[in-house]
C-alpha cells in the first residue's frame, strides 16, 4: 500500500477503505509517513469529505492509537460529558457531583485550558492542594468508593489525534465536520465511558458559530458514538453571551458551588439540570426526564450534591472546607468597575471579547507554558436584555497585575452593545439530539 495512492483516491472523490485509513493513521503516528503527504490527504478530505463509515473508522483507529482507559472494574454504567467549550463554562464542577449523588458513577478525564480561561482541571486547582496526578488504580477506587473521580488526560491517549490536529491547525484543514467529530470522539472513546452526553455550543463564543453547523457536528458525533457501541445524547446550547455571571477560574468554582446550593444563575442552572437529566437517564437511574429532574432537585435540596463535591475534593487532596465556605477561595483583592456608556437595553455581549479580557488579566493561557492566575476574572452584573442607564455598573473586574489592565478593561467595555428596544429573548437549549 502506498500513501500517494491513498491521496489520489480521496482527491478523486473515492471512499477510503478501512485498511487505507488504518495505514495512514498508524504510519503517521509512528513517524513513517511524512507531514507533507498527510497534509495533502487532509486537504483532500477537507474538500471531498468522508462518509459515515470512513468517519467511524478514522475515529476508532485514532482511539486505538495509544492508551485506552479500562473502566471495567467500576460498577455500573459509566457516563461521561464533553463540552465543545465556551466563556464561563464551569458546567462539570456543578454537574458531576449532582449526577454522582444520583448514583451514576463519574470517571472523567479532563484537560487544561488553552485560551480565555483554564480547563476543568485548572478551575478545580482553585481548591488548595487539589491533585489530578493520581494513579489509575486510585482513580478507579475513588469512583467505586464515592462515585466520582477526575484525572488529567495522559499524553498517550489518542496520540494520533494530537499529531493530526497539530498538522490540521497549520494547514487550514480544521473546519471539516468529519475531522472535527473524529478528533473529539476519539478521545472520548479512549477514555472508556459507556455513555456520553455532549454539550455542543453554538454562537459567537463557540467554535461553531451557526446553529446549522452546531447541529451537524452534534449529529455526526452522536452517529460516531452509537456506531462505536456507546449510548449518546447531544444538547445544543447557546454561547452568544457568557454562561452564568462569572468568568475566571476561582470565580467560576464559586458560581458552581452556588448552583449546588440552589442559588446559581438561571441560565447556568438550566444547562446543568438539562445535562444531568440525560446523564442520569443514560446511566439507567431514571426512566423519564421528570423522574431524573426530581432526583436532581432532591440531590440539591438535601445537600447531597454539595457533600459529594466536598468528598471528591478531599479524596484528591483538596481542602473540602472551601466547598462549604467559598470565602476561603482566593479571589484577587483589586477590583475595577465597568459602567454603561449609554442608556437603553443591552442587546449583545460579544462573548469572545469577554473571554479575551479575562485572558489578558492572567486568567487564561495564550500558550501551553503560561501560568494561570486562578484568582482573577470578571463578574457580569448585567446580561443581554437588561435595561440600563448611562453610568450603571455592568461588571466587576478582579485583577492583580496592572500590566494589561487598561487593555483588558477597554476590551470588556467594547463587548457591550446597546439598543433602544429590548432584544428578543434567546433560548439557552436550542435542541436535543438523541
**Full pLDDT tens readout for the chain, 434 residues:** 999 999 999 999 999 999 999 999 999 999 999 999 999 999 999 999 999 999 999 999 999 999 898 999 999 999 999 998 889 999 999 999 999 999 999 998 887 765 667 788 899 999 999 999 899 899 999 999 999 999 887 768 889 998 998 899 899 998 899 999 999 999 999 999 999 999 999 998 888 889 999 999 999 999 999 999 999 999 999 999 999 999 999 999 999 999 999 999 999 999 999 999 999 999 999 999 999 999 999 999 999 999 999 999 999 999 999 999 999 999 999 999 999 999 999 999 999 899 999 999 999 877 767 789 999 999 999 999 999 999 999 999 999 999 999 999 999 999 999 999 999 998 999 999 99
Rounded Cα–Cα distance for residues 345 and 337 (Å): 19
Cell of 367: 500558550
The CATH number of the domain holding residue 41 is 1.20.970.10
Please indicate, yes or no, whether residues 230 and 368 belong to a single structural domain of this protein: no
Is 63 contained in some domain?
no
Q: Is the domain of 299 the same as that of 350?
A: no
Locate 316 and state its grid cell. Answer: 484528591
Please give the pLDDT value at position 175. 84
Q: Cβ neighbours of residue 14 under 8 Å, at least 6 residues apart?
A: none
Q: Tell the residue number behind the cell numbers 495522559, with chain if given.
A: 154
pTM of full prediction above 0.85: yes
Q: Which of 22, 149, 183, 415 does the annotation list as catalytic?
A: 183
Question: The domain spanning residue 141 has which CATH number?
Answer: 3.40.1030.10
In this structure, is residue 366 part of a structural domain? Answer: yes
Residue 391 CB coordination number (10 Å): 11
User: Last residue of a domain, which of 300, 326, 352?
Assistant: 326
216 and 89 both lie in a single domain: yes
Under DSSP, the state recorded for 359 is I
Residues 36 and 163 in one domain: no
Coil, helix or strand at residue 319: coil
Domain match, 12 and 88 both: no
DSSP element (H, E) containing 226:
helix 211-227
Distance CA 366, CA 115 (A): 6
Cβ 345 vs Cβ 422: under 8 Å: yes
Residue 203 lies in a domain: yes
Task: State yes or no: is 214 an active-site residue.
Answer: no
Residues whose CB falls within 8 Å of the CB of residue 270, separated by 6 or more in sequence, listed in order:
428, 429
If asked whether residues 13 and 156 sit together in one domain, one would say no
Rg (CA), the chain: 22
Here the cell at position 416 is 457591550
Q: Give the closest residue to 229 by CA, choosing from 270, 274, 266, 189.
A: 189
**Which of 187, 245, 273, 411 is flagged as catalytic?**
187
Task: Give the three-state DSSP class for 201.
Answer: strand
Find the catalytic residue in 81, 82, 201, 382: 82
In sequence order, what E strands does 74-130 have?
79-83, 106-110
Cα torsion through 21, 22, 27, 28, rounded to 10: 50
The active-site residue out of 80, 89, 122, 161 is 161
Assess whether 365 carries a catalytic annotation. no
Q: Beta-carbon neighbour count of residue 131 at 10 Å?
A: 15
DSSP line for 376-403: -EEEES--TT-EE-TT-EEEEEEES--T
State which residues form the domain around 32: 3-49
Catalytic residue among 90, 123, 162, 168: 168
Number of alpha carbons in the 13 Å side-chain half-sphere of residue 75 = 8
Instruction: Based on the fold, state whether residues 167 and 264 are members of the same structural domain.
Output: yes
Does residue 56 sit within a domain? Answer: no
Burial 247-256 (b: 16+ CB within 10 A, else e): bbbbbbbbbb
Whether residues 116 and 199 share a domain: the answer is yes
371, 299, 319, 318: which is closest to 118 by C-alpha? 371
Query: What SS3 class is residue 25?
Result: helix
User: What's the CA dihedral at 130, 79, 238, 226 to 10 degrees?
Assistant: 140
221, 241 contact by CB (below 8 A)? no
CATH number at residue 356: 3.90.1170.30
Pair 369, 318 in one domain: no
Report phi then psi at 430, rounded to 5.
-80, -40
Identify whether 403 is part of a domain: yes
Active site residue 116: no
Query: Do 313 and 401 belong together in one domain?
Result: no
Name the phi and psi angles at 251, rounded to 5.
-60, -40
Whether residues 34 and 131 fall in one domain: no
Cα(251)–Cα(162) distance, rounded to whole angstroms? Answer: 31
What pLDDT was estimated at residue 110? Answer: 81
* Contact criterion met (CB below 8 Å) for 332 and 387: no
Cα–Cα distance, 142 to 312 (Å, whole number): 8
End-to-end CA distance of the chain: 39
In a domain, 425, yes or no: no
Is residue 72 included in any domain, yes or no? no
pLDDT at residue 116 in the model: 65
- Is 113 in the same domain as 249? yes
Question: Which of residues 326, 352, 376 is at a domain's end?
Answer: 326
SS3 (DSSP) at 151: strand
Total number of domains in the chain: 3
Q: Clarify whether 11 is annotated catalytic.
A: no
Report the candidate in 229, 212, 132, 203 with the shortest Cα–Cα distance to residue 351. Answer: 203
The verdict on whether 168 is a catalytic residue reads yes
Whether residue 433 is contained in a domain is answered as no
Amino acid at each position: 500500500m502506498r500513501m500517494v495512492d491513498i491521496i489520489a483516491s480521496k482527491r478523486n472523490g473515492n471512499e477510503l477503505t478501512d485498511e487505507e485509513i488504518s495505514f495512514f493513521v498508524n504510519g503517521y503516528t509512528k513517524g513513517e509517513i511524512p507531514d507533507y503527504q498527510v497534509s495533502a490527504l487532509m486537504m483532500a478530505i477537507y474538500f471531498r469529505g468522508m462518509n459515515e463509515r470512513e468517519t467511524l473508522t478514522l475515529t476508532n483507529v485514532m482511539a486505538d492509537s495509544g492508551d485506552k482507559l479500562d473502566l471495567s472494574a467500576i460498577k455500573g454504567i459509566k457516563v461521561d460529558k464533553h463540552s465543545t467549550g465556551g466563556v464561563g463554562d464551569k458546567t462539570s464542577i456543578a454537574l458531576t457531583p449532582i449526577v454522582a449523588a444520583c448514583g451514576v458513577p463519574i470517571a472523567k478525564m479532563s484537560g487544561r485550558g488553552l485560551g480565555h480561561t483554564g480547563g476543568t482541571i485548572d478551575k478545580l486547582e482553585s481548591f488548595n492542594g487539589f491533585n489530578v496526578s493520581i494513579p489509575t488504580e486510585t482513580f478507579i477506587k475513588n469512583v467505586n468508593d464515592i462515585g466520582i473521580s477526575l484525572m488529567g488526560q495522559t499524553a498517550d491517549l489518542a496520540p494520533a489525534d494530537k499529531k493530526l490536529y497539530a498538522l490540521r491547525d497549520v494547514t487550514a484543514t480544521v473546519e471539516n465536520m468529519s475531522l472535527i467529530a473524529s478528533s473529539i470522539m476519539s478521545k472520548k472513546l479512549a477514555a472508556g465511558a459507556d455513555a456520553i452526553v455532549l454539550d455542543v455550543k453554538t454562537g459567537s463564543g463557540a467554535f461553531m458559530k451557526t446553529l446549522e453547523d452546531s447541529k451537524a457536528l452534534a449529529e455526526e458525533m452522536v452517529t460516531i458514538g452509537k456506531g462505536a457501541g456507546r449510548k449518546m445524547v447531544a444538547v445544543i446550547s447557546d454561547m452568544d453571551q457568557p454562561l452564568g455571571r462569572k468568568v475566571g477560574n476561582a470565580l467560576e468554582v464559586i458560581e458552581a458551588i452556588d448552583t449546588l446550593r440552589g442559588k446559581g444563575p438561571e441560565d447556568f442552572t438550566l444547562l446543568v439540570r438539562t445535562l444531568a437529566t440525560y446523564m442520569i437517564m443514560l446511566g439507567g437511574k431514571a426512566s423519564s426526564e421528570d423522574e431524573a429532574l426530581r432526583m436532581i432537585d432532591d440531590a440539591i435540596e438535601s445537600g447531597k450534591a454539595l457533600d459529594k463535591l466536598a468528598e471528591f475534593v478531599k479524596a484528591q487532596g483538596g481542602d473540602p472546607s472551601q466547598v462549604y465556605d467559598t470565602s476561603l477561595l482566593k479571589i484577587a483583592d483589586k477590583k475595577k468597575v465597568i459602567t454603561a456608556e449609554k442608556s437603553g437595553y443591552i442587546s449583545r455581549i460579544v462573548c469572545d471579547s469577554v473571554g479575551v479580557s479575562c485572558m489578558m488579566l492572567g486568567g487564561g493561557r495564550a500558550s501551553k507554558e503560561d501560568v494561570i492566575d486562578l484568582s482573577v476574572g470578571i463578574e457580569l452584573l448585567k446580561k443581554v436584555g437588561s435595561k440600563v442607564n448611562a453610568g450603571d455598573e455592568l461588571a466587576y473586574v478582579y485583577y492583580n497585575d496592572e500590566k494589561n489592565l487598561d487593555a483588558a478593561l477597554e476590551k470588556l467595555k467594547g463587548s457591550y452593545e446597546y439598543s433602544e428596544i429590548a432584544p428578543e429573548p434567546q433560548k439557552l437549549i436550542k435542541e436535543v439530539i438523541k
